Amino acid sequence: MDTWLMILIGAVIVFIAYRAMSPAKGVKTISTDELKPELKKKGIQFIDVRTPAEFKANRIKEFKNIPLNELPGRVGELDKNKETVVICQSGMRSSKAAAILKRNSFENVINVRGGMGSYRP
């Protein structure tokens, strides 16, 4: 019985980890190379969810800084009808940000895979 319990606990842990790392349903994912042509387009809102210090140290000029911990209270600053591209350092926080945006009725959300750690101007 102990073996089955351990297997069950292990399966639950794997499931929780998978859900935490998988992209939100309906969120498109692009690479940093695919991001570059998007930066030239009009009508897209670009959101960087890193901390202000991270943003200040290294940023892409088209992006507005809204730290992940502030995003739920600041979604009203954004247009739900515009394409919204989110980035962070590695893609983990931006994936969480994308899920927050989707829960707040944003239709067209794009997460940048690899984040600023992969971005080369």
Catalytic residue among 88, 99, 112, 116: 88
Q: How many CB atoms are closer than 10 A to CB 86?
A: 29
Q: Write the CA distances from 18 to 12, 14, 43, 57, 59, integer angstroms.
A: 10, 6, 33, 31, 29
Tell me the two tokens of residue 51. Answer: 């901390």
Cα distance between residue 32 and residue 70, in whole Å: 24
Q: Is residue 1 flagged as an active site residue?
A: no
Q: Is the Cβ–Cβ distance between 96 and 68 less than 8 Å? A: yes
Catalytic center residues: 88
